[in-house]
Amino acid sequence: NAGVMQNPRHLVRRRGQEARLRCSPVKGHSHVYWYRQLPEEGLKFMVYLQKENIIDESGMPKERFSAEFPKEGPSILRIQQVVRGDSAAYFCASSPQGEDTQYFGPGTRLTVL
C-alpha cells in the first residue's frame, strides 16, 4: 500500500537548466497538489491538479513553472531555466475524490548551483 512517491529525492541543476520533478499519487487518488518549502520557511501552495486539468494554479510563479497530471503516468512539475532562488524542497500531496485529507510525499530537494 504505497504512499505518495516522488522522484528524484535530490536534484542538482546548474543555472539555466531544466528541472523535472515527478509525483505518483496514492493509488486511486485523483487529486494532486504541489507545495514549495524555501529554506527556513513554511510550505506554500503552488498548484492543484486533477487528471488532465489544472484546478488552481494561484501559487505558481508566472514564468518558467508549469505542472501537469496526465491521464496516464505521474504528475510533473517542470521548472525551466532554473535560478538559484528556485532551490527548495518541493512536496507533492494527493487526496481521493470526496475527501479533504492530503497525504504528502517525501519531497524533492532541488539545489541550483
Partner 1 sequence: GIQVEQSPPDLILQEGANSTLRCNFSDSVNNLQWFHQNPWGQLINLFYIPSGTKQNGRLSATTVATERYSLLYISSSQTTDSGVYFCAVEISGNTGKLIFGQGTTLQVKP
Q: Which three cell numbers stand for residue 81?
A: 531555466
- Judge whether 12 and 113 are in contact, CB under 8 Å: yes
Segment contacting partner 1 by CB under 8 A, of 19-27, 61-69, 74-82, 105-113? 105-113
Cα-flanking dihedrals φ and ψ of residue 85, to 5°?
-65, -10
- Judge whether 21 and 5 are in contact, CB under 8 Å: no
The binding track of 31-70 with respect to partner 1, each residue x by CB under 8 A or -, is x-x-x-----xxxxx--x------xx-xx-----------
The residue ranges that bind partner 1 (CB under 8 A) are 31, 33, 35, 41-45, 48, 55-56, 58-59, 89, 91, 93, 95, 100-104, 106-107, 109
